[in-house]
Chains A and B, each alone.
Chain A
Amino acid sequence: MKRVYVKEEWCLGCRLCEYWCVYSGSGEKNFPFAFDKGATPPAGIQVEEVGPVHFAVNCRHCDDPLCLKGCISGALSRDGYGAIRIDKTKCVGCHTCIALCPYGCIVSGGDNMPIKKCQLCAGRDYTPQCVSHCPNEAIVFEEE
């Protein structure tokens, strides 16, 4: 399947991917509207730093998805593109998936709220927003 891969050689640590991820998840029409309530942590991608090296970490949509297999409510499932998606109406926010994801790619949505994760922007725009807005092609959407 196509996944988001990161080339840290070209990652500038500008964090635009994080902001476009927030926008993509917000459902807002205009980019700034997604941030009306101030800083919102990104759900699908986050930039890490080691000294001068930066790289973005994004859900692997694993072949052996512990999040999906550990989900207590059946809210996580794999869609037709291979992406692991969250059914927000089923998730009760127990955070078992957060406890299991080896890459730390699932984010709490707050108490009693569904968790948030990368959905590969499926259903919105085929190319994930983090990829299409990376200024240096440090994030790519490619077959393995």
Chain B
Amino acid sequence: MKKVSTDTRYVIIGNGVASIGAIEAIRKNDKTGSITVLADEKYPCYGRPLISYYLEGMTTRDKMDYRPAGFYAANNVKLVLGSPADRIDAVSRKVWCGDSEYAYDRLLIATGSSPVVPPTAGYEDVKRKYTFNKLDDALELEKVTDGTTRVLIIGAGLTGLKAAEGLYPRVKEITVVDMAPRVLPAVMDDESSGIIRSYLENKGIRFFLSDSVEKYCDGYALLKSGAEVDFDVLVTAVGVRPNTRLAESIGCVTERMTESGRPFRGIVVGDDQQTTVADVYAAGDCTLSYDVTIKNTRPLFIQPNAYMQGETAGTYMSGGSREKREYLPVNAGGFLGLHVITAGAYDGEPITVRDGGSFHRFFIKDNRLRGFIQIGEYSRVGILTDLIRREADLEGVDLASLVRHPNLAALGMDYVHSVLGKEGA
């Protein structure tokens, strides 16, 4: 364990769940060091994916706070709201927000990601245009939409479809445009994607796929295919990019070249979440995560990872250590009543099970479960996620039955004892 003096100064840039993970981990090891959180938003940490649920009316503003009121005070954290950091000096170990200066001994960069807005003709002139990442986006959309509003969403990925779901009960009409030939292109294959698309189409959402906006005109968008889509409110949700500017400015490595020659952008960190600059750590969307399914790092913009990376960072920042975490893509969410869970990589032999209205597809390679897509009814799928994460050898296991009805029994009594017995867990 690294020696940490009792007056260590921790500064955390960003106030998402990575920051919460870090605070909770630091306070396990260090009750006295000072923790300062510089938040660019003006709210205590909230569950960012909740913004669609907020619009939909499934949660309320007061229920969105990620931790109970008093969390920051209880952990003796100085929370500076509406105060984005704009400069770091890694030599003198200081962070500036405008004129305010914060000295640190350990710094965590948890700056998250920002929505990408592709340059499109006429975009600047669109009056009511939004992205869909922050609470303010949802609060604005709440104000500008009513039962007569027609919404155009650019992007049929998770963010775009969650925006569609959130707005669905509030507005008159929703149209979604995506360059990809299918919805949820990153987490679905053709067939599963088709199920989601037809479900949402039956709910009245319009899709223009393999298409994009040529230009925005007065009250409508002209698509490359020639179609015209009338809209009152535009939501751009084509993706996010990691916020690496600050890290880059102090010399952190912020990209990894892939074999295909295309770089993955994101702060490069070690298993301890430390960047290439000493005592500067990074966690969450702004980093590259180690994905166990590809055995390498890549951007993984999912909240569970952000918390756990923040936690790992906080643990090491305060002198502790922990087992290496293995991440993998896991996504769960409902789309107007249709629930979806996906995980892992979609390579290997697919096993497909359809029953009732549900669809389940599992990918098996070398006796190992690599990934799955489940739509509709499912149960105990975390057992499968764990099998992917552990790369468990499933030789001799009745896979067809296991994947459909995940259970521990199928994995053998030794495994059951190891996880349910007193020695396990």
B422 x A94 contact (CB < 8 A): no
Chain B contacts with A in 385-408, Cβ cutoff 8 A: 385-386, 406-408
Produce 1/0 per residue, A100-114, CB < 8 A to B. Answer: 111111111001100
Bound: A101/B379 CA distance, A: 11
**Binding-face segment, A29-37, A54-62, A126-134:** A54-62
Chain B contacts with A in 268-310, Cβ cutoff 8 A: 303-304, 307-308
Say yes or no: A90-B381 contact (C-beta < 8 A), given A48-B407, A57-B420. no
User: Does A79 sit at the interface, judged by CB under 8 A?
Assistant: no
B304 x A104 contact (CB < 8 A): no
A5 x B420 contact (CB < 8 A): yes
Produce 1/0 per residue, A59-98, CB < 8 A to B. Answer: 0111100110111111000000000000001101111111
Residue from A55, A70, A98, A107 in contact with B420 in the complex, judged by beta carbons closer than 8 Å = A55
By secondary structure, the B interface counts as mixed
A115 to chain B, nearest CB (A): 11
Q: What class of interface size applies to chain B in its complex with A?
A: 35 or more
B63 x A101 contact (CB < 8 A): no
A67 to chain B, nearest CB (A): 8
User: Does B409 sit at the interface, judged by CB under 8 A?
Assistant: yes
B14 to chain A, nearest CB (A): 17
B59 x A104 contact (CB < 8 A): no
User: Does A3 sit at the interface, judged by CB under 8 A?
Assistant: yes
**Binding-face segment, B32-40, B147-155, B248-256, B335-343:** B335-343
Bound: A77/B378 CA distance, A: 24
Bound: A104/B382 CA distance, A: 5
User: Does A39 sit at the interface, judged by CB under 8 A?
Assistant: no
Produce 1/0 per residue, B31-54, CB < 8 A to A. Answer: 000000000000000011110010
Chain B contacts with A in 407-425, Cβ cutoff 8 A: 407-410, 413, 416, 419-422, 424-425
Q: Which residues of A contact B383 (CB under 8 A)?
A: 101-104
B405 to chain A, nearest CB (A): 10
Chain B contacts with A in 353-400, Cβ cutoff 8 A: 378-383, 385-386
B419 x A102 contact (CB < 8 A): yes
User: Does A99 sit at the interface, judged by CB under 8 A?
Assistant: yes
A103 x B408 contact (CB < 8 A): yes
Q: Which residues of A contact B139 (CB under 8 A)?
A: none
Bound: A92/B334 CA distance, A: 10
Bound: A104/B421 CA distance, A: 16
B408 x A99 contact (CB < 8 A): no
A103 x B333 contact (CB < 8 A): no
B379 x A104 contact (CB < 8 A): yes
A6 x B304 contact (CB < 8 A): no
Chain B contacts with A in 61-111, Cβ cutoff 8 A: 63-67
Residue from A74, A96, A105 in contact with B330 in the complex, judged by beta carbons closer than 8 Å = A96
B27 to chain A, nearest CB (A): 14
Bound: A50/B401 CA distance, A: 13
User: Does B144 sit at the interface, judged by CB under 8 A?
Assistant: no
Say yes or no: A60-B59 contact (C-beta < 8 A), given A73-B66, A95-B333. no
User: Does B178 sit at the interface, judged by CB under 8 A?
Assistant: no
User: Does A122 sit at the interface, judged by CB under 8 A?
Assistant: no
Q: Which residues of A contact B409 (CB under 8 A)?
A: 48-50, 53, 55
A104 to chain B, nearest CB (A): 3
B64 x A102 contact (CB < 8 A): no
User: Does A125 sit at the interface, judged by CB under 8 A?
Assistant: no
User: Does B173 sit at the interface, judged by CB under 8 A?
Assistant: no
Q: Which residues of B contact A49 (CB under 8 A)?
A: 409
B332 x A95 contact (CB < 8 A): yes
Say yes or no: A48-B408 contact (C-beta < 8 A), given A74-B66, A95-B333, A102-B382. yes
Say yes or no: A111-B337 contact (C-beta < 8 A), given A5-B422, A99-B330, A102-B385. yes
User: Does B21 sit at the interface, judged by CB under 8 A?
Assistant: yes
User: Does B30 sit at the interface, judged by CB under 8 A?
Assistant: no
Q: A3-B425, A90-B63 are in contact. List 12 more A-B contacts (CB 8 A).
A: A8-B416, A55-B416, A70-B330, A73-B53, A74-B47, A95-B341, A104-B381, A104-B407, A105-B382, A111-B337, A112-B334, A144-B422
15 A-B contacts (beta carbon < 8 Å): A3-B425, A5-B421, A50-B413, A57-B420, A60-B419, A67-B382, A69-B304, A69-B311, A73-B47, A74-B67, A93-B334, A95-B339, A98-B341, A104-B406, A112-B337
Which 3 A-B pairs give the minimum distances between C-beta atoms? Answer: A104-B380, A70-B304, A101-B382
